[in-house]
Amino acid sequence: MKVFKFGGASINSFERIQNLATILEEYKNEKILIVISAMGKMTNALEKVTEAFYSGKKADALRLFEKIKQNHLTLLKYAVTQQWEAATNDLLNFFTEVEWLLHDKPVKEYNYYYDQVVCAGELLSSTIVSYFLNEEKILNKWIDVRDLLRTDNTFREAVIDWPVTRQKIEEKILPLFRETDLVITQGFIGSSNENESTTLGREGSDYTAAVFANILNAESVTIWKDVEGVMNADPKDLPGAVNIPELSYKEVIEMAYYGAQVIHPKTIKPLQNKNIPLHVKSFIERQLPGTVITGKNPHHLPPIIVYKRNQVLMTFESKDFSFVEGKPVNTLYEILEDIKIKPNLTQNAAISLYICMDDVAEKIEKVAMEASGIFDVQLEKNLTLLTIRHYTAEFINKLTENKTIVLQQKTANTIQVLMREI
Ligand SMILES: Nc1ncnc2c1ncn2[C@@H]1O[C@H](COP(=O)(O)OP(=O)(O)O)[C@@H](O)[C@H]1O
Ligand SMILES: N[C@@H](CC(=O)OP(=O)(O)O)C(=O)O
Q: How many residues does the chain have?
A: 422
> Which residue ranges in the chain fall short of pLDDT 50?
none
Residues with Cβ within 8 Å of 411's Cβ and at least 6 positions away in sequence, in order, are none
Give me ligand 2 centre to Cα 235, in Å: 19
Name the residue of 43, 149, 186 to mutate for ligand 2: max ligand atoms within 8 A of Cβ: 43
Which of 265, 276, 272 is CA-nearest to residue 221? Answer: 276
Ligand nearest the Cα atom of residue 120: 2
The CA-based diameter of the chain, rounded to the nearest angstrom, is: 76
* ipTM score: 0.97
Q: Is 115 exposed, middle or buried (0-12, 13-18, 19+ CB in 10 A)?
A: buried
pLDDT digits (tens, 9 = 90+) for 11-32: 999 999 999 999 999 999 999 9
Q: Which CATH architecture has domain 304-421?
A: 2-Layer Sandwich (3.30)
Strand-pair partners of 410 = 415
Which of 201, 224, 180, 174 is CA-nearest to residue 36? Answer: 224
Give me ligand 2 centre to Cα 159, in Å: 17
Which residue lies with its CA nearest to atom 4 of ligand 2? 203
Domain boundaries, the chain: 2-225, 304-421
Q: Which residues line ligand 1 (CB under 6 A)?
A: 7-10, 37, 203, 225-227, 230-231, 233-236, 260-262
- Kindly state if the Cβ of 127 falls inside 6 Å of ligand 2: no
Which residue lies with its CA nearest to atom 18 of ligand 1? 262
C-alpha–C-alpha distance, residues 219 and 52, integer Å? 44
Strands 278-282 and 220-225: parallel
- Kindly state if the Cβ of 188 falls inside 6 Å of ligand 2: yes
Give me ligand 1 centre to Cα 146, in Å: 26
Give me ligand 2 centre to Cα 205, in Å: 6
pLDDT of res. 327: 79
C-alpha–C-alpha distance, residues 81 and 68, integer Å? 21
pLDDT digits (tens, 9 = 90+) for 364-413: 999 999 999 889 999 999 999 999 999 999 999 999 999 999 999 999 99
Give me ligand 1 centre to Cα 57, in Å: 34
Question: 2-225: what fold?
Answer: Carbamate kinase (3.40.1160)
Give me ligand 1 centre to Cα 225, in Å: 7
C-alpha–C-alpha distance, residues 109 and 118, integer Å? 15
pLDDT of res. 326: 79
Give me ligand 1 centre to Cα 234, in Å: 7
pLDDT of res. 330: 87
C-alpha–C-alpha distance, residues 384 and 418, integer Å? 6
Which residue lies with its CA nearest to atom 7 of ligand 1? 234
pLDDT of res. 369: 92
